[in-house]
Amino acid sequence: MSYRDVFGEILADHHESPRNFGVMKDPSRTEQGYNPLCGDKVSICLKFSNGSDQIERCMFEGEGCSICMASASIMTEMVSGKSRSEVLKLIDAFREKMQGSEVVEGLPAEDAEDDLVALYGVKRFPVRIKCALLAWTTLKRGLEATNHA
C-alpha cells in the first residue's frame, strides 16, 4: 500500500511539493528539531513583521519521513500572518489533538476542509505522532526564545 493510500491526497501532495521549503534570508529566528525515534530533522525559520509579534513568514528545511515533511509544510502555511500568541495556542491545541483529545478548541473539526485535518489521521499510528509534531514543537521553542522581541 502506498503512502497516498494510507494518508491520502493532501499529505502526499504536501510531501511531494512542500510549501515554504528552503532557506530564509535574514530570519528573526532559526530553531532546529530532531526526532531520534525516526531520524527526522527540521530547521524552522521565522520572520516577524517589522517591530511586531506577527509572523510574516515561516519556512522550513530538513530531512525526514513523509509525515514529518508534510506536517512541517502544512504548519508553515497555517502560521504565516498570525501573531505569536495565536500560533502558540494553535501549537498547544494541535499537540493535545494528536495526543488523543477528541475535540480541541481552536482547531478545525474532523470533517472540516482544512489541510490540518489530514494530519489527524496520523493518530492511528502512535509511533508516528512524534513525526507529525516535530515541526510544531520546534516552532514553539523558537517562539518562546523570541519572547522578548
Among 68, 70, 91, 119, interactor with Zn ion by CB under 5 A: 68
Q: Are 53 and 65 in contact (CB under 8 A)?
A: no
- Report the residue number, 10 or 134, with the smaller CB distance to Zn ion: 134
Verify binding: residue 115, Zn ion, rule CB under 5 A. Answer: no
Number of Cβ atoms within 10 Å of the Cβ of 75: 31
- Measure the CA–CA gap between 24 and 30, rounded to whole angstroms: 9
Q: Tell me the H-state helices in the chain.
A: 3-16, 66-79, 84-98, 115-120, 129-145
- Report the residue number, 38 or 88, with the smaller CB distance to Zn ion: 38
Among 46, 55, 58, 65, interactor with Zn ion by CB under 5 A: 65
**DSSP bridge pairs for 44:** 31, 60
- Report the residue number, 31 or 40, with the smaller CB distance to Zn ion: 40
Whole-number minimum distance, CB 95 to Zn ion, in Å? 16
Among 3, 13, 38, 81, interactor with Zn ion by CB under 5 A: 38
- How many binding residues for Zn ion (CB under 5 A)? 5
- Report the residue number, 11 or 68, with the smaller CB distance to Zn ion: 68
98: CB partners within 8 A, 6+ apart: 119, 120, 122, 123, 129, 132, 133
Q: Are 27 and 120 in contact (CB under 8 A)?
A: no
Whole-number minimum distance, CB 72 to Zn ion, in Å? 11
Verify binding: residue 40, Zn ion, rule CB under 5 A. Answer: yes
The piece of 32-40, 92-100, 107-115, 136-144 that touches Zn ion (CB under 5 A) is 32-40
Q: HSE, CB side, 13 Å, CA atoms: give it for residue 8.
A: 10
Which residues contact Zn ion by CB under 5 A? 38, 40, 65, 68, 131
